Amino acid sequence: MSNINLIDSFQEFKDFKNIDRPTMMSVLEDVFRSMIRKKYGNDENCDVIVNTDNGDLEIWRTRKVMEDGFSEDDDLEIELAEAKTLDPTLEVGDDYIEQVTLESFGRRAILAARQTLVSKILELEKDEIFRKYKDRVGEIVTGEVYQVWKKETLVLDDEGNELLLPKSEQIPADYFKKGDTVKAVVDKVEMLNSNPKIIISRTAPEFLQRLFEMEVPEIFDGLITIKKIVREPGERAKVAVESYDDRIDPVGACVGMKGSRIHGIVRELKNENIDVINYTNNLQLYIQRALSPAKITSIKLDDEKKTAAVYLKPDQVSLAIGRGGHNIKLAGKLTGYEIDVYREADETDEDVDIEEFSDEIESWIIDEFKRIGLDTAKSVLALTVNELVKRTDLEEETVKDVLSILQAEFE
């Protein structure tokens, strides 16, 4: 049987990666049965055999042999005289089985069927891609950059499916060009105008979690669990981990010997600073660890307002806040408490370097005090206003303002 245009299309469709064979055969059979119904009125007496491996199609039509003049439906029955011309061995009551060729449907019907087939296959493809990626939300995927636009980057997976990496889901230091390999986590999958839209992300906490699972076998095996991750993408991240085995140090396992495990993650995240801390139910200790690398002297908690007043030595304040305030902001997100940092205000405290007040006192004034050997707050407070005016080139009003600022530190 000639395969014409329709059969040629089977060869194209049978190789679709996202459609399983039973589904493919079902779609093909539906298309052909639709053709049969249009031609013969019904398809109840027809068998459609599709071989998706080689594109072969067979349609067999069965009609009951009736006595001459007693046939009521030519689509289901055939008169004996006509049946005898086709097969002399047939008798009344026998089934006459004939093979229906595609040519018999006509070229127009074949082209229409091909269009229907194309449409159904593409629809199936889209549905299958949607289902496949819907089940993969939160998983890491690797793809190749196909096109870079201003607001997003188009990435193709191994099967040529389109993935979108919006600018908002990229680490600030990310820079991609066509052909680059990109690793990201599947963030969101939705249908938009019957087309699957797959959004991937490199800024989601899940991306960092999956990277840890890939690098740290103990996390993958469930011996260590990640309790929470908070990130300022490209800047800093804090990861709280807990071990279910007392023999395993969760922080040490995540960092690895000489940082071997965490270095690969840091590189992937464009040198994002990652703090791995040991999770604990002791809230004060948890907040203390969350503010690492700063060393805390004391903490006062308000459980109702979910606030924590943290007191530190002056040289630890900047460490607790961190560059751009990232450290204290992430510590708050990790613990669920709003954290306020205070310098220790006890008279027995150590002295404070005058440079610590650079946000309140102009640098040239600080330099003037340092010129005469006064480089700490207490060394300045030890002298009177008149003594300071005489020894420096500062106005009395300026000296009084400085003393007021320094004094407030110890009140």
| DSSP string across 255-303 | H-GGGHHHHHHHHHTTS-EEEEEE--S-HHHHHHHHTTTSPEEEEEEET
User: 231-278: per-residue pLDDT in tens?
Assistant: 999 999 999 999 988 889 999 999 999 889 999 999 999 999 999 999
User: 48-80: per-residue pLDDT in tens?
Assistant: 887 756 556 788 888 888 888 777 777 788 888
- What residues have CB less than 8 Å from 209, skipping those under 6 apart? 226, 229
User: 375-397: per-residue pLDDT in tens?
Assistant: 888 888 888 888 888 888 888 99
| pLDDT at 5 exceeding the cut of 50 | no
| pLDDT at 289 exceeding the cut of 70 | yes
What predicted TM-score, i.e. pTM, was given to this entire model? Answer: 0.65
Query: What is the C-alpha separation between 4 and 210, in angstroms, rounded?
Result: 50
| pLDDT at 366 exceeding the cut of 50 | yes
Q: What is the pLDDT of residue 136?
A: 93
Query: What is the C-alpha separation between 392 and 341, in angstroms, rounded?
Result: 33
Q: What is the pLDDT of residue 130?
A: 92
Q: What is the pLDDT of residue 235?
A: 92
Q: What is the pLDDT of residue 199?
A: 97
Q: What is the pLDDT of residue 19?
A: 64
Strand partners, 242: 225
DSSP β-ladder status, 162-166 and 181-192: unpaired
| Nearest CA-CA partner of 242 in 262, 226, 254 | 226
Which DSSP string do the residues of 89-133 spell out, in sequence order?
T--TTPEEEEEEPGGGG-HHHHHHHHHHHHHHHHHHHHHHHHHHH
Asked if omega into 293 is within 30° of 0 (cis), the reply is: yes
| Nearest CA-CA partner of 105 in 46, 63, 192 | 46
DSSP β-ladder status, 195-201 and 181-192: antiparallel
* The Cα angle at residue 33 between residues 75 and 19, in degrees rounded to 5: 165
Put the strands of the sheet holding 273-278 in their side by side order: 224-232, 236-243, 273-278
| Residue 4: pLDDT band with limits 50, 70, 90 | very low
As a whole number, mean pLDDT of residues 304-322 equals 87
User: 155-180: per-residue pLDDT in tens?
Assistant: 999 988 999 999 999 999 999 999 99
Greater confidence, 74 or 353? Answer: 353
